[in-house]
A = this chain, B = another copy of it.
Amino acid sequence: MPLQRLVVSPEQMQNGHIRLTPPQLHYLQRVLRLGTGDRFIAMDGDGHAWLASLSAIHTLEPQAEILESIAHSTELPIRVTLVAALPKGNGFDEVVRQATELGVEQILPVLSDRTLLHPSPQKLERWQRIANEAAEQSERLCVPRIATPVPFVEHLQPEQQSATRVKKYLCAARGKAPHLLECLQSDCLSLAGATPSLTSITIAIGPEGGWTDAEVEQAIAASYQPVSLGSRVLRAVTAPLVALSLIAAVYEMGVGIGKR
């Protein structure tokens, strides 16, 4: 049975202890049924984690003792940003959950020309909460950040583009674009020895019905490379997972190959 995980914020850490909030104490005590001295893993969501032990649960200031810090191994060797058009209904909940399991670093929900939904601020909080939970469950040390939704064309503006070495793929509807797997493998191999090496991948997935022609053109102008995810029609909730599965597999294997 692996140890249970809890996301804490840096301000909670003090002199080798973690000051627990009432909801955290409730979660540890009532949901996970931990008692005094029981161990769990505290993570700050930014790649750090500690083995901690629950102490003094019946005081006014419940806290846990930090026993040791833990080296991380479940993060991808590359930073991945998912730019995803918001699907209808509550479908984005599952996208956030599964993308977190697959190692994404940041999720940017975007509004496309074919998106009708304008999410409320409550939605953003909900997605961040789901990302926290999913990061705990999948034993990740980094919690993906969910960015505030913006129109896709706004994301494409030059001032939004980062200066780091980032490769950007745009998943297009079935067409003549090369398969994402093909692009990933050639980029992973050709960049393995390059300096500075590729540090980040951005993958953009359209809404049901796909990006409009104008959106595809503007994305290409902003250095996005159109890629295909295969010959079947995928729902907007499935396509991100297919793309992230391929990215994770290629880069985890690529690193494995480099190590030999």
Contacts and interface: CB of A to CB of B under 8 A. Distances in A.
A250 to B, nearest CB: 7
Q: How big is chain A's contact interface, by range? A: 20 to 34
Given A94-B94, A252-B179, A101 B234 contact: yes
A59 interface: no
A101 B235 contact: yes
A232 interface: yes
Number of copies: 2
Interface string A226-260: 00011111110010011001101110110010000
A249 B180 contact: yes
Interface in A79-108: 94, 98, 101-103
A74 B231 contact: yes
A55 interface: no
B181 A232 contact: no
20 contacts: A2-B233, A73-B231, A74-B232, A94-B94, A98-B241, A101-B232, A101-B238, A102-B234, A103-B232, A137-B233, A137-B235, A138-B235, A140-B232, A179-B253, A229-B249, A230-B252, A232-B248, A242-B248, A242-B249, A245-B246
7 closest cross-chain pairs (CB), A and B:
A245-B245, A181-B249, A242-B245, A138-B233, A139-B233, A74-B232, A179-B253
Given A101-B238, A246-B246, 7 more contacts: A98-B238, A101-B233, A102-B234, A181-B253, A231-B252, A242-B248, A246-B249
